[in-house]
Amino acid sequence: MTEHAPAVAPGLFREGADGTLTLVGGRSRSSGRLHFPRSPVCPWTGADDVDDADLPRHGRLWAWTTVTAAPPGYAGPVPFGFGVVEFDDADGVLRVVGRITVAETEALTEGTPMVVVAEVLPTEDGPVTTWAFAPGSGGAP
C-alpha cells in the first residue's frame, strides 16, 4: 500500500487503486514513436501531433549506478540505485531513467527484467511519490 504522498510532478504517471504505477508518455501520430516524459512535440521529429500514451510496465536494465553522494533536496538514505531501463515499443526501444529499488547495484546485470513501481521519496520538502524500477517481473503486465 502506497503512502499518500503527492506526486513528484504532475502528469508523469497514474497511480492505480491497487498501488501500481503507470508512466504516461506521449506518442506522435505521424512518427509513431513513444517518448517520456510527455512533451508537446515529438523529440525525434518535432511533430506536434502528440497524444498521451501509457508506457509498458516491464523492461530491461540497461545502465546503472549506485549513488553515494546525495543530490540536493534529497532527504532519504544513501547509497541508492539509479539507472536506465529499456522498454520495447513497436518502433524500437524507449529508455527511461529513474531510481532503482536496489541500493547496491553492483550485483545487477545488463538485461535484468525490471518492473515499474511506485516509491515514496523523502525530500527536504516532505515525502513525494515517484516511480522506480524494481528487479523482477512482479505483478500483472
Partner 1 sequence: MSWNRVAVIGAGLIHMGELFDQSYEQMARGAFDAAVDSVDQGFDPAEIDAVFVATQRGTLWGQEGIGGNTIPSAIGLAGVACTRVENACPTGSDAFRVGCMAVASGVHDVVLVIGVEKMRDKSSDEGLLARAAAGHPVYTRGESAPVLFAPFATRHMHEFGTTREMLASVAVKNHHNGVLDPYAHFRNEVTIEQVLAAPPVCSPLHLLDCCPQTDGAAAIIITTPERSADFTDHPVYVAGFGVSTDHPYLHEKSTYVGLPATVEASRRAYEMAGIGPADVDVAEVHDCFTITEILDIEDLGFVEKGRGGVASLEGETALDGRIPVNPSGGLLAKGHPIGATGIAQLTECWWQLRGQADERQVAIRNGFALQHNVGGRGSGVSVVNILTTNPS
126 beta partners = none
Among 50, 102, 116, 121, binds partner 1 (CB under 8 A): 121
Helix, strand, coil shares of the chain, percent, nearest 5, are 0, 50, 50
**101 contributes a contact to partner 1 by CB under 8 A:** no
Counting residues that bind partner 1 (by CB under 8 A) gives 38
**47 contributes a contact to partner 1 by CB under 8 A:** no
Q: How far is the CB of 98 from partner 1 (least distance, A)?
A: 8
**64 contributes a contact to partner 1 by CB under 8 A:** yes
Residue 103 near residue 66 (C-beta atoms within 8 A): yes
Strands (E), the chain: 13-15, 21-28, 34-35, 50-54, 58-67, 80-89, 92-100, 113-121, 128-135
User: Footprint of partner 1 on this chain (CB under 8 A)?
Assistant: 8-9, 12, 35-37, 43-44, 62-69, 71-74, 79-80, 82-84, 94-99, 105-106, 110, 121, 123, 128, 130
